[in-house]
Structure 1
Amino acid sequence: MNERRSASTRPAAMGQDSALSPYTGWTRAEWAALADRMLLAARRHASPSHALITPPGAPGGYGTRVDGLEGFARTFLLAGFRLAGEQGRDPLGLLPRYAEGIAAGTDPSSPERWVTPREHGQAKVEAASIALILDLTRPWLWDRLDGGVQERVVDYLAQVVGDQDYPRTNWLWFRIVVEQFLSSVSGPCSLADLRADLALHESFVRDGGWYSDGDERSFDHYCGWALHLYPILWSRMSGAAELAAPLLPQYTARLDRYLLDALQLVGADGSPLLQGRSLVYRFAAAAPFWVGAYAGTGTVEPGRLRRAASGILKHFVDRGAPDENGLLTLGWHHEWRRLAQNYSGPGSPYWAAKGMLGLALPAEHPVWTSTELPLPVEQEDRLAVLAAPGWALSSMVADGVVRVYNHGTDHARPGDRTGDSPLYARLGYSTATCPQLDEEGWDAPLDQSVVLLDGDGRATHRSGFETLAVAAVDGAAVLASRALCRWVDPDRTLPDHGSGRQGTAVDAAAVTTVSVVRGAWEVRCVRVDPAGAPGWNEVVELRVGGWPVSGTDPLSTYVGARSAGVVGPHSSIAVALSGFDRTGVHRAHDATPLGMWTATPVLHADPEPGAWMIAALALGGGEKAPQVRLSPSEPSPGTTSVSITWPDRAETVATLPAMPPPR
């Protein structure tokens, strides 16, 4: 296999190890130094007894008391990894400070006491981090705590036992981890709780080593930094071996398979995919690669795991996170509050500590001593179908960008009638672009969308769509979905947890969308069928949006008779191939965390019921667009085939779905 390095990969920095780490220059020393900087910076914002750590910033939606608990528990994760990897050596004096914080936090009479699991659900999340690190650092912290403090910790954590008020998502692991620790210190524990939660976890299993975060089509970074992370760490907790033994081979096998996909989702510049909620956790996206090292994966070499993890961390460090004060803010490269959910507070971003799990492994572990190996995006151009999330992945060595085309994920269930979440329901995501996340982006899907517009310019939503195809065909990927598209008047009083907004919905029409993908190009075929929808008479226009490009400066754009484009850090183009007769560029200000200016090429048409309308869209890809031809499908009477000639003269023939049955 070609091991050449991407042109977008930076050489190792001066003073770093270019022999051991030829792609990033980062070794364990750089990781440890950053962890220490972050811990010392957070320490400056601790309460007098260190029980609450509240970095500066506006309070989160759950209030300052929860913010302070989050700051303690999530930096405690990082401190615990650091201490475990050094076998308890503690030059920063972490142990006495966190011990004092635990004593005060669990003291009901302390002014710095923690919010309890009975008082607030978020305390159940933070309790898991505390329990996990108390187990990981047992000989240096738990075993040295005063007996009275130990009793108070048990009393605090025991509130989760038998508690049925846990969301049926990755939260199940928060109860498992806490009860496992309680069991190991002779505290209360319910075997029924553990078995029920482990069974629930199994219900989230999907093809190819993927997990869905609940029973919705919720595929995002939680698959790696939660649903693969906790099973492996739990299996190594004190006393877990017997219960974990029959399950661990399955957990490991799924992780092995998932890692092959996860590696392909990292850009050559180290950027994770900008998709899904909780992106403010940033380099937590590196967690599954360290979990692979922890589990001793046999499918990915240690040097490739570290290349991915170091690339992700370095991506953020090179671009301003942590900030000049050593703090993680709510944002991406820099502070950008809109990226967070409304419950997120100034302590929330420290779940990024999960991405520094590798520090818990000793310096002599192969993941630290092996030479870095390239990422998949740095080896060769790739096209892959990821069946579970309903994605096709396309990446090219030339630009190092990973593109994902989505016809299977929306953080909803088939038939749901919510609005679209721009974090989940867009037709495309990448490591170089971000969906528009301002109010317009939530209310009126535009980038990477197919929508119907009414006379007031209101755009329809597609969440709850039916996935029709996710397959490889003739050297391309073919994905298809059908949605009963609707206008949604959102209820703005409901909290934002990353899902599409609920509200009053009026159906406009059934819209079938097919994406045929190869290289940087997507041929997008769209058909509109009124299907008796009550809002059809209000439809005046069909609009297709391409890739959004964001930049720190205003972007260059062009609008022609058959195409429109944007040129900035990356180029985006939309070309009318059949049926579209109007072009344009949509501009937005401060709509993504990647830059103050965002522009998206768009195509417009008068929708013709039952007719296939075709566009070509590219992120990069040069000026020459694919050519298409529609014809009756020989194998399937009544259906249509699209023949595509790609810019490199390769050809693909795809059968387009038949019309939907009458409603």
Structure 2
Amino acid sequence: MDPFAGTRPWGKNPLETKNDLANFLVNVLDPLGPHTSPGGARIHLGHTATHYDEAAAQLEGFSRPIWGLAALLAGGGSYEGTKRWVDGFSSGTNPDHEEFWGDMRNKDQRMVECSAIGFSLAVAREKLWDPLDDASKKNFESWLGGMNDKEMPNTNWLWFRVFANLGLSKVGSPRFDAKRMKADLDHLDTFYIGEGWSRDGPEGVIQLDYYSSSFAIQFAQLVYSKLAQAEDPQRCEEYRNRARRFAQDFIRYFDAEGRAIPFGRSMTYRFAMSSFWGALAFADVELPAPLTWGVIKGLQLRNIRYWMRQPGAYYPDGTLTIGFVYPNHNMTENYNSPGSPYWCCKSFVTLALPDSHPFWTSKEEPYPSKLLGTTAVLHKPLHIATNVGGHTFLLSSGQQCSYPVKQSAAKYGKLAYSSAFGYSVPVGNGTLEELGGDNTLALSDDNGETWKCRRDTREARIENGKWLRSMWYPWKDVEVETWLVPPTLEAPLWHLRVHRIKTGRDLTSAEGGFAIYGQREDGRALEPAPEGKYGTYEEAGEARATSKAGVSGIADIGSTCSRNGQALRTDANSNLIVARAVLPTLVAKHKPDSSNIWLLTAVFGLPNEGDAEGPAKGWEVEWRKRPSVPGDIRL
């Protein structure tokens, strides 16, 4: 229970109309007031550190809420706290003021925050720029334009300079650098790889996560296509066409309840995951059926409603926590400051639309029925997305972070990612309980003292248009080949994994299914229980856990070795969605062998539906089914 549920100002907000969304934004902005510095330029929300300096961190707290504030003001709304940000622009860009943000250096975090600031100038000049006096405007221009001669990372960051220049151009500033903006845009377009997808960097980078969509690239392209249409019509139309194609893949990352599949880094941005849908509306991009305006509206609002209902996403004072469904620093990156979660304010972009826009006048529609119970091969991100059996998840191979990121093996290298069960991250490396090894094949060569999980995936491809196939080389004398096969109509609650292992050393393997809420009805830890009861189940070759969240299980279906089933109680705070989880796992020992070791694994997942508690009736029948290995996979 959330002891503060009755005091949440948005507790009874149905989030159905533009006014409802504006009210929720106000509820997000108001708690920031007591944390704002006297000059308005810095918002200090906590004492945890980042790899960048504290002034930049407090600038982050100031700037990110502007995504929402600027949209509200652009759409004809008002906010009585707007003056805090106007004052902050004056104080933060004044070199003689004690709250000066500091001049930008090469690859400076301050560059990131220029994105929201540039957007605000472009859409809400009258409320955020015009009130400044001439001296403040000159300081502001100088500070914002100061990034034009600095080196930037060769990633989505280049969009931040585009938005800075876009904002400068909209206020008629002489610091606007048209040549620099065009060069940045031309280079960003080299990231495009087709079918609507852009990678987050040059050739060789293979991250295609939410930065390729809502967090950065697709969102930026759509907003640019609206704001720069007159000056750059051909590029703007190209961006809209990319979005039309991308949307057909991206809808697969959302379930009927509004949740997005957690995958990759920066999960603390939460409902920024759905901001692409709002950006489509902002850019007036109509999509082919079944993606009507009512469907787009539902995808956006259901996701925000989901996050309104998560008590752990907010501190008692209403500010956002660092984490996902609850405060969790295990899953963060070294660039997550206390202000970082406010990137979610991108999803308020539809507040910039007039009341007459079809996004707001259309009746909200559910997730398209023709896409339910289907599986889709997503070629560019090397994902297979499915919602067969009522469980929305993806099978994944071929992605990894191109630079060091904490827990990157968990964020990119797992075999499956689920909207209902999320994913887990290690909280240590000494035991399986610490590992958080859901949806991974973990290997140890020191009898379980330490573990390796797939991070650097090689030779990944979609095979026969049906499954994923890839290689992994954890040690010089160990190779692992993996096939991932989505559910079939014959066994709709199972997906299949086939692993071929060749090893020159002793190994212990531990393969996990989906981590699931691990408590009984009374809140105590799950205990062994027979079928039909909340509890755990273990035997040779099988393990299962049943709770109010549904059922998760794993079964061996014919490996060349024996495996023991265990319902592991993972260490607290390893899973992104539930702080106390149980993980069905298969464990085995392997000797060096010149021949292949084959692991054949069936993974079962059935989340509860909506507000219902526990798995749907009849799940036991489905559990007794088992998928078969396709004949095209030769053992």
The TM-score bracket by the shorter chain reads 0.7 to 0.9
Q: Distance in 1 between matches of 2:453 and 2:376?
A: 27
Matched residue SS, 1:421 = helix
1:224 pairs with one of 210, 213, 232: 213
Q: Distance in 2 between matches of 1:148 and 1:112?
A: 16
Deviations along 1:162-206, whole A, 9 cap, x unmatched?
212x11111010111112333442323444432332233222223
Q: What's the TM-score, normalizing by structure 1?
A: 0.81
Residue 342 in structure 1 maps to residue 347 in structure 2: no
Query: Root-mean-square deviation (CA), in Å?
Result: 2.7
Residue 581 in structure 1 maps to residue 562 in structure 2: yes
Mapped contact 2:375–2:385 kept (Cα < 8 A)? yes
Residue 512 of structure 2: aligned partner? 545
Q: Distance in 1 between matches of 2:218 and 2:405?
A: 30
Deviations along 1:333-359, whole A, 9 cap, x unmatched?
332222321221111111110111111
Mapped contact 1:60–1:346 kept (Cα < 8 A)? no
Deviations along 1:363-395, whole A, 9 cap, x unmatched?
221101101111147962121111111111111
Residue 357 of structure 1: aligned partner? 349
Q: Distance in 2 between matches of 1:549 and 1:332?
A: 16
Residue 583 of structure 2: aligned partner? 600
Alpha carbons of structure 1 residues 445 and 337: separation in structure 2 relative to 1, 3 Å = closer
1:524 pairs with one of 490, 497, 500: 497
Residue 655 of structure 1: aligned partner? 633
Q: Distance in 2 between matches of 1:78 and 1:29?
A: 13
Counterpart code for 1:222: Y
Q: Distance in 1 between matches of 2:213 and 2:369?
A: 19
Which has the higher mean CA deviation after the structures are superposed, 188-197 or 513-522? 188-197
Residue 125 of structure 1: aligned partner? 112
Counterpart code for 2:484: S
Residue 69 in structure 1 maps to residue 46 in structure 2: no
2:362 pairs with one of 360, 370, 375: 370
Matched residue SS, 2:571 = strand
Q: Following superposition of structure 1 onto structure 2, how do residues 385-404 of structure 1 map, counting pairs within 5 Å?
A: 385-396=377-388, 399=390, 401-404=391-394
Q: Following superposition of structure 1 onto structure 2, how do residues 72-471 of structure 1 map, counting pairs within 5 Å?
A: 72-86=62-76, 89-90=77-78, 92-118=79-105, 121-164=108-151, 166-184=152-170, 185-215=172-202, 216-225=205-214, 226-237=216-227, 240-241=228-229, 244-299=232-287, 300-320=291-311, 321-376=313-368, 380-396=372-388, 399=390, 401-412=391-402, 421-440=409-428, 444=435, 446-457=437-448, 458-471=450-463
Alpha carbons of structure 1 residues 311 and 351: separation in structure 2 relative to 1, 3 Å = same
Matched residue SS, 2:409 = coil
Q: Following superposition of structure 1 onto structure 2, how do residues 603-642 of structure 1 map, counting pairs within 5 Å?
A: 603-607=586-590, 609-620=595-606, 622-628=622-628, 642=629
Alpha carbons of structure 1 residues 60 and 463: separation in structure 2 relative to 1, 3 Å = closer
Q: Distance in 2 between matches of 1:360 and 1:351?
A: 17
Matched residue SS, 1:522 = strand
Deviations along 1:547-599, whole A, 9 cap, x unmatched?
22234642332111221112221311111111241222332122123223222
Mapped contact 1:412–1:463 kept (Cα < 8 A)? no
Alpha carbons of structure 1 residues 220 and 581: separation in structure 2 relative to 1, 3 Å = same
Mapped contact 1:287–1:309 kept (Cα < 8 A)? yes
Q: Distance in 1 between matches of 2:106 and 2:93?
A: 13
Q: Distance in 2 between matches of 1:104 and 1:377?
A: 52
Deviation at 1:116?
Answer: 2.9
Contiguous gaps of at least 5 residues in structure 1: 1-12, 17-23, 487-506, 531-535, 629-641, 644-652, 658-663
Counterpart code for 1:581: S
Contiguous gaps of at least 5 residues in structure 2: 1-9, 527-534, 607-618
Alpha carbons of structure 1 residues 561 and 141: separation in structure 2 relative to 1, 3 Å = closer
Matched residue SS, 1:623 = helix
Residue 533 of structure 1: aligned partner? none
Deviations along 1:88-107, whole A, 9 cap, x unmatched?
x52x3244332211111111
Deviations along 1:193-252, whole A, 9 cap, x unmatched?
323322332222234212221242212111222101112222333xx3455322122211
Q: Distance in 2 between matches of 1:540 and 1:255?
A: 46
Q: Distance in 1 between matches of 2:168 and 2:36?
A: 27
Mapped contact 2:500–2:597 kept (Cα < 8 A)? yes
Mapped contact 2:114–2:160 kept (Cα < 8 A)? yes
Deviation at 1:57?
Answer: 5.0
Which has the higher mean CA deviation after the structures are superposed, 224-233 or 418-427? 418-427
Residue 34 of structure 2: aligned partner? 44
Matched residue SS, 1:596 = coil
Q: Distance in 2 between matches of 1:197 and 1:286?
A: 26
Counterpart code for 1:558: Y
Q: Distance in 2 between matches of 1:602 and 1:181?
A: 52
Matched residue SS, 2:198 = coil
Q: Distance in 1 between matches of 2:337 and 2:407?
A: 25
Q: Distance in 2 between matches of 1:418 and 1:314?
A: 29
Q: Distance in 1 between matches of 2:422 and 2:514?
A: 9
Alpha carbons of structure 1 residues 566 and 369: separation in structure 2 relative to 1, 3 Å = same
Q: Distance in 1 between matches of 2:106 and 2:402?
A: 29
Mapped contact 1:264–1:375 kept (Cα < 8 A)? no
Counterpart code for 1:201: L
Q: Which has the higher strand share?
A: 1
1:481 pairs with one of 470, 475, 478: 470
Alpha carbons of structure 1 residues 403 and 160: separation in structure 2 relative to 1, 3 Å = same
Counterpart code for 2:474: C
Mapped contact 2:229–2:236 kept (Cα < 8 A)? no
Deviation at 1:627?
Answer: 4.7
Q: Distance in 1 between matches of 2:446 and 2:268?
A: 37
Deviation at 1:15?
Answer: 7.6
Alpha carbons of structure 1 residues 418 and 46: separation in structure 2 relative to 1, 3 Å = closer
Q: Distance in 2 between matches of 1:213 and 1:453?
A: 32
Mapped contact 1:172–1:201 kept (Cα < 8 A)? yes
**Alignment length (residue pairs):** 577
Q: Distance in 2 between matches of 1:541 and 1:345?
A: 38
Deviation at 1:305?
Answer: 1.0
Q: Report % sequence identity.
A: 25
Mapped contact 2:494–2:605 kept (Cα < 8 A)? yes
Alpha carbons of structure 1 residues 172 and 420: separation in structure 2 relative to 1, 3 Å = closer
Deviation at 1:408?
Answer: 2.3
Counterpart code for 2:154: R
Mapped contact 1:526–1:612 kept (Cα < 8 A)? yes
Alpha carbons of structure 1 residues 15 and 63: separation in structure 2 relative to 1, 3 Å = closer
Deviation at 1:313?
Answer: 0.7
Residue 4 of structure 2: aligned partner? none
Matched residue SS, 1:557 = strand
Deviations along 1:594-651, whole A, 9 cap, x unmatched?
22322222223444632433111121273123253xxxxxxxxxxxxx43xxxxxxxx
Mapped contact 1:565–1:585 kept (Cα < 8 A)? yes
Alpha carbons of structure 1 residues 68 and 427: separation in structure 2 relative to 1, 3 Å = same
Q: Distance in 2 between matches of 1:83 and 1:124?
A: 23
Residue 561 in structure 1 maps to residue 540 in structure 2: yes
